[in-house]
Amino acid sequence: MLRRELLCILMFGVTFLNPYAAHANASADVGRTVWSVSGRTILLDGKPFFAKGVNYSPTPVGGSYNWDPFGDWFTRSWRGIYQRDLPLIRAMGANAMRIHSLFAFPPTDANYENVDALDFDSPEVADHLDFLDKAWDGGQDPLYVLITIPVDKLRGFYQGDDRLRAEDSERVYRFYKKLARWAARKYGSHPAVMGFSIGNECNDALDLPGAPVFWERIDELARIVKAEAPDKLVTSVWFPQPKEHFLKYPRLLLDKRFDVIGMNLYDGPLKNSEFWELYNSWAQERGLNKPVIVTEFGTPACRHGVNGRIEETAQSALLQVQWALALWKQIADRSVLSDPGRGITSGGFVFAWSDEWWKTRDQHGHAAIQDPGKIQQDFLAGGWLDDECFGINSIAPHPDRPPLHPWEPDKSPVPYPPDLLTPRPIYYALKALWK
């Protein structure tokens, strides 16, 4: 039953990929790519580009963003993971990836405290060139990378009367300034890099006491990145729910140093349709004429079964397919390539490549268990915010390694084999559209 319904969806969906098939996918000038914008259109080497992307955060079972390597799975130590994944991402017809974490030094209290002593030009810093080279693929079948410059929205942007907290905030901010400059300088000329995103879902900070300082510092990070990497795109990502947050979109993000507006959209096909109408009115009122990329869209592949446990069924997998394809259709229907005069979008990034088991209960031990979400969300297909089940691939620890830890270099000189991926129906559905 699932196969027959899925085939019907794919046959329906293929019709809204065709407008983009003839547009730029690779650089004509091998070894260098130049990214720019013209109105609402993103240009790669002067040709329109439409992103068919995945959010790539391939966290192994037992791993987390809150301990080493802090979500940075893109150094040679972890090459087994991206060597497993990049051919599969290409095979589904994607042309871009968005990564959420990249560091020169780990974001630890010790490094915050000693930030002025950190030498970002040292050969000891983390290196990501092997990952980027493999993404570039010699220009033959490149996957362009949108790099997130992560920011600590609480510690790095404090504004208040607590002197010790203010001093700590200043040190943390200097750490991320150095990180932004280093990343843009080191990777800004790499042909696989399409651009840099300053933070993620930054409207989380709208109601913080230090909000004015936060936006000033986000602006400064964007200025640093653009100065070091003028041929790459700079964006910041917004989560436009609730509507009031979107309407408060800071004026500075409309400034010229932000080339693209990033939007994470999860509100479901019906509400997202209403959002696009709101966006058009809002943009017209402000004279805004910038490209928009949907930096995240998707829904979990599971539902809550007996005793609230995560449960995957044929029906829940089909819901993930229907949900994601409906959202992709909205992105495609509003493409600037199919309707240059009235189009809005320059592509999207499905969330996410693989399940991440650390998100619900982020503690050692629990990151080796796939936990159900705790928050009901009627805008998601399964009705729950099951953060650990968004993947277009499910994941399981490799039998030849302990599930609690993906790899600990101080205990084993050889990396453990990467976890086992199982593509879900949504992988094949998107492949039918994108390939």
What's the pLDDT tens digit per position in 125-177? 999 999 999 999 999 999 999 999 988 877 776 666 677 788 888 999 999 99
User: 16 pLDDT exceeds 60?
Assistant: no
Mean pLDDT in residue range 216-226: 92
Please give the share of the chain, as a percent, with pLDDT higher than 90.
51
Q: Among 107-116, 246-255, 334-343, name the one with the lowest average pLDDT.
A: 246-255
pLDDT score at 11: 38
Q: Among 35-39, 158-162, 327-331, name the one with the lowest average pLDDT.
A: 158-162
List Cα–Cα distances, 194 to 55, 148, 234, 292, in angstroms.
14, 11, 9, 14
Contact 346, 292 (CB under 8 A): yes
How far, in Å, CA of 418 to CA of 219, rounded?
38
Provide the angle, in degrees to the nearest 10, between the axes of the packed helices 79-91 and 129-136: 20
Containing 268, the helix (H) or strand (E) segment is: helix 268-286
pLDDT score at 173: 92
pLDDT score at 260: 94
Mean pLDDT in residue range 325-342: 90
Contact 54, 89 (CB under 8 A): yes
Confidence of residue 211 (pLDDT cuts 50, 70, 90): low
* Residues in a beta bridge with 238: 263
Q: What predicted TM-score, i.e. pTM, was given to this entire model?
A: 0.90
How far, in Å, CA of 379 to CA of 400, rounded?
39
User: 242 pLDDT exceeds 90?
Assistant: no
Tell which wins on pLDDT, 97 or 271.
97
Tell which wins on pLDDT, 402 or 251.
402
List Cα–Cα distances, 139 to 94, 206, 273, in angstroms.
15, 41, 36
Confidence of residue 362 (pLDDT cuts 50, 70, 90): low
The full set of domains in the chain, from first to last, is 2-434 (3.20.20.80)
Tell which wins on pLDDT, 180 or 362.
180
Mean pLDDT in residue range 403-418: 75
User: 294 pLDDT exceeds 60?
Assistant: yes
Antiparallel, parallel or unpaired: β 51-55 and 96-99? parallel
Mean pLDDT in residue range 36-46: 96
Q: Which amino acid is at 47?
A: K
User: 1 pLDDT exceeds 70?
Assistant: no
User: 17 pLDDT exceeds 60?
Assistant: no
Average pLDDT, the chain: 84
Please give the share of the chain, as a percent, with pLDDT higher than 70.
83
pLDDT score at 273: 75
Question: Of the ranges 6-20, 134-148, 305-319, which is most confident?
Answer: 134-148
* Residues in a beta bridge with 260: 235
pLDDT score at 67: 87
- What is the rounded (10 degree) CA torsion for 91, 92, 97, 101? -80
pLDDT score at 254: 64
Contact 141, 90 (CB under 8 A): yes
User: 266 pLDDT exceeds 90?
Assistant: no
pLDDT score at 285: 80
End-to-end CA distance of the chain: 25
- Return the SS3 of 127: coil
Containing 168, the helix (H) or strand (E) segment is: helix 163-187
Q: Which residues contact 421 (CB under 8 A, 6 or more apart)?
A: 84, 85, 88, 354, 393, 394, 395
pLDDT score at 253: 61
Render the burial of 118-156: b for 16+ CB within 10 Å, e for the rest: beeeeeeebebeebbebbbeebeebbbbbbbbbbebebb
Confidence of residue 246 (pLDDT cuts 50, 70, 90): low
Structure tokens, 281 = 């009115």
Radius of gyration of the chain (CA): 21
Q: Cβ–Cβ contacts within 10 Å for residue 406, how many? A: 25
Tell which wins on pLDDT, 12 or 401.
401
Tell which wins on pLDDT, 388 or 306.
388
How far, in Å, CA of 130 to CA of 248, rounded?
40
Confidence of residue 368 (pLDDT cuts 50, 70, 90): confident
